[in-house]
Structure 1
Amino acid sequence: MTRSAMWRARPKATLAVLGSQALLGAALLAFGTTASAVNYPITPEWRATAEQVAQAGVPLSELAPNAPDSYVVKRGDTLWAISGMFLLRPWRWPELWGMNYDQIRNPHLIYPGQILYLERLGDRARLRVGQPVGNGTIKLSPRVRSEALDDGAITSIPVHLIEPFLNEAVIFNTNELEPAPRIVATQEGRVLLSRGETAYVRGELGDLRDWRLFRNPKPLKDPATNEVLGYEATYLGTAEYVRPGGTGPKGEIVPASFRIVSNRLEVGVGDRLAPVPPREFINYVPHAPQNPIEGQIASIYGEGLTAGQNQIVALNKGAQDGIERGHVLALWRKGREAVDTTYGGREKILLPDERHGLLFVFRVFDRMSYALILNVQEPVQIGDRFTQP
């Protein structure tokens, strides 16, 4: 029997007693799978089931003990904080809103001043959004409007924690910085350059104006296999293309001129240039992976040996493994070895791994990802394990 036939054969009554997490998984599968998952045909029955799940909400048992009946969104709020106000497990935000898979990937936005109402219908709950329209009247809508983030919509997590890394933290799939445009000389022969000073560059520049500056790309290896998954370089700052290069009167090579616009570190000869990417909007919906996943911390951003809350780590899983922006992942502390002395002997035992924190994925590359440590009980190290929450 095919998978779709098995679904059609499932009694309708069974649907009512399935756990909401399983229902959400069915909805996500119906609307599309990740690159690492099997792609099954989307039948009308599956699509109808997905739409039904999208309206289901969450069981009342998933609500936080003090979940408010309503809440006025304030400037500075985040989706993660609001979700934690209503839910025991904030990554179930899509279910509370009744989102289908398409809406998770392209979410509607929430704005300061809007009022969120918690509807309890039977044994389930959903959020709706309202807008004051005068005379104490509130206009309710099952969805929030979808507009550009620039007009003040709240972000998923505190934007100041990750915004610098949207340009700075980059994983190159190959060592593509090796042949990239490079600084070959500096203004007045200076060893190091700062903001406003001139650098001379050789390489293929095209017609791009804004560039980032990097140094010393290093390989990032999988802690489990030692395979090189990508290359991470030290971010130095940004530079602006000022004047093209050319050829001198005797055929000499004349490099292009660049002005240092900003710098995190001082810039010098040999440093590489890479284009500034398009701006990324930080409106990722916090959600759990649709399929089980397990991986390890591959590196600590910034050369640290350990990381704590609000720091950045690189994961050894990426888009090809099903990782998405907005994924919430659980951190695990490796169980230590101990000795059982309770019966007079000294038998060695291994304690189980313990969950001790959460990650929020905000940048995804082919084989790796960057995540923010939302909370953690002990320092995070390279090799620490993560899974779906």
Structure 2
Amino acid sequence: MNTLRIHRRRPAVLTTLATLAAIGFGSTALAQNYPVTPQQRATAQQTAQTGVPLAELAPNAPDEYTIKSGDTLWAISRLYLRSPWRWPELWGMNMGEISNPHRIYPGQVLYLDKTGGRARLSTRRGGMGGGDQTIRLSPRTRYESLSGMALPTLNPALIEPFLSEPIVVDEGTLLTAPRIVAGNDGRVLLARGDRAYARGEVNSPLVETAGPIKTFRIFRNATPLQDPGTGEILGYEAQYLGKAQLQRGESTERSMEGGKELTTVVPATIDIVAAREEMRAGDRLLPEPARQLLSYAPHAPTTAFDGRIVSVYGNAVQFAAQNQVVAINKGLRDGIENGHVLAILKNGETIVDKTGGAKETLKLPNERIGLLMVFRPFDRVSYALVLEISDTPKVGDLLVNP
């Protein structure tokens, strides 16, 4: 475990944009230093000296702000900017002094510099040229591990489950995946700690291999995700139930019966190690994917975007709330990236105007009602987090550039 000794006065060597652009999620992700992409570094270098026009600041942007436990980078950017995804243009840079991105931690103080009609944000009083290079931390002198204290872009608890739980598959993936065939001692419903038995397909049985114990995620009910505009099936969302570990692979037993040799299949043995819902025979197993350390740097698409909300994650939910996850009808094939921020437009109703002399059909204008951010794209569909709303988004609402 890395331990950092924090003194009362410590020189500030911080690349704030690099911090913002490089933060990831998850228990392992928070302990990592992510590289800054060439595009992010170019933006940082270009905007380090210019800042943003004062008109782009939020109306009540504070001159000084102390980072608190529980803060997120999105919330801080929203505190200072009318368009929080434009934070590379606001944050002051110190690119020449460091080679790797540093972090923002609770206790650090941010200063807003408005000199020259432009706004910059820095951890130094007076901005890039200021003489005070002290980062104020509380308590003033202590020994403490900072491996998990760096501020995430968003609240990790909102997204972390969706990095491993829901999965979008094609129609045949679950149908050909290994399946649970029975529980131990005749159990019908399985929970954490239970033992069960599973089988693969004839040509791909569940077998043990050298190395770590195989871990599987367990799914059920692949629900079709349908494009609200075209009716196209974009994929199937599998319902996550839990995790299992393979303890013993499939095998066969030979026996003699009536003078004939019979071959009987012995299913694989699995132990349920995590359960979100109870499992049963027929549920399917998919290999646990390797943990991905991802960067979530919110940014607007560089080209014109036109999409829709496909579904709200949950059981037959049609309306979304703030901090809820939705599926959208665009994915990797459409150029969608982690961190893309999109505006949500309420689809204006079609009405019949009866106020004139004759009835006339009218289409009410689309109204902007919020923002969402993509955090997990698949080929033709993506998951996104609803960041802020002024009305209630629903399935079929439009998505455009912010």
- What TM-score does the superposition give when structure 1 sets the normalisation length? 0.76
Q: 1:153 aligns with which of 139, 150, 157?
A: 150
CA pair 81-48 structure 1, distance change in 2 beyond 3 A? closer
The equivalent residue for 1:211 is: 216
Q: Deviations over 1:129-159 (max 9, x none)?
A: 359xxxx95347xxxxxxx995321111122
Asked if residue 279 in structure 1 is aligned to residue 272 in structure 2, the reply is no
Q: Does the alignment pair 1:246 with 2:258?
A: no
Query: SS at the partner of 1:151?
Result: coil
Q: Retained in 2: the 8 A contact 1:57–1:95?
A: yes
The whole-number CA distance in structure 1 between the counterparts of 2:113 and 2:250 is 64
CA distance in 2, matches of 1:280, 1:165: 12
Q: CA deviation at 1:276?
A: 2.2
Paired AA for residue 218 in structure 1: T
Query: Partner letter of residue 236 of structure 1?
Result: L
Find the partner of 1:256 among 265, 268, 278.
268
Q: Return the alpha-carbon distance in structure 2 between the equivalents of residues 48 and 326 of structure 1.
A: 18
Retained in 1: the 8 A contact 2:47–2:88? no
Q: Structure 2: which amino acid aligns with 1:300?
A: V
CA 1:173–1:78 in 2, change beyond 3 Å: closer, same or farther?
farther
Distance in 2 of aligned mates of 1:289 and 1:319? 13
Q: Quick one: structure 1 residues 95 and 333, their matched pair in 2 at CA, closer, same or farther if it must change by over 3 Å? A: same
Give 1:187's aligned amino acid: N
Deviations along 1:13-58, whole A, 9 cap, x unmatched?
xxxxxxxxxxxxxxxxx9679xxxxxxxxxxxxx989843465322
Contact 1:220–1:230 (Cα < 8 Å) also in 2:
yes
Going from structure 1 to structure 2, the CA distance change for 1:225 and 1:32 (only over 3 Å counts) comes to farther
Task: Check 1:315–1:337 CA distance in 2 against 1; reply closer, same or farther (3 A cut).
Answer: same
What is the RMSD of the two structures over their aligned residues, measured on CA atoms? 3.0
* Partner amino acid, structure 2, of 1:162: I
Work out which of the residue numbers 83, 99, 110 in structure 1 matches 2:104: 110
Distance 1:62 1:338 in 2: 37
Residue 297 in 1 paired to residue 309 in 2?
Answer: yes
Alpha carbons of structure 1 residues 122 and 254: separation in structure 2 relative to 1, 3 Å: same
Structure 1 equivalent of residue 133 of structure 2? 138
Q: Which has the higher helix share?
A: 1
Shift of 1:340: 4.5
Q: Which residue of 2 aligns with 1:181?
A: 178
Q: 3-state SS of the aligned residue for 1:97?
A: coil
- The DSSP-based 3-state class of the residue aligned with 1:171 is strand
SS of the aligned residue for 2:173 comes to coil
Matched, 1:329 2:342: yes
CA gap 1:306/1:107 in 2 versus in 1, 3 angstroms: farther
Count of residues paired in the alignment: 330
Q: In the superposition, relative to structure 1, how do residues 173 and 388 fare at CA in structure 2: closer, same or farther (>3 Å)?
A: farther
- Report the Cα offset of residue 72 of structure 1: 1.8
User: Any conservation in 1 of the 2:371–2:388 contact (CA below 8 Å)?
Assistant: yes
In structure 1, C-alpha distance between the alignment counterparts of 2:124 and 2:272, rounded to whole Å: 47
Query: Counterpart of 1:373?
Result: 386
- Residue 59 of structure 1: which of 33, 38, 53 is its match? 53
Mapped to 2, the partners of 1:138 and 1:215 lie a distance apart of 55
Distance across 1 between alignment mates of 2:329 and 2:158: 21
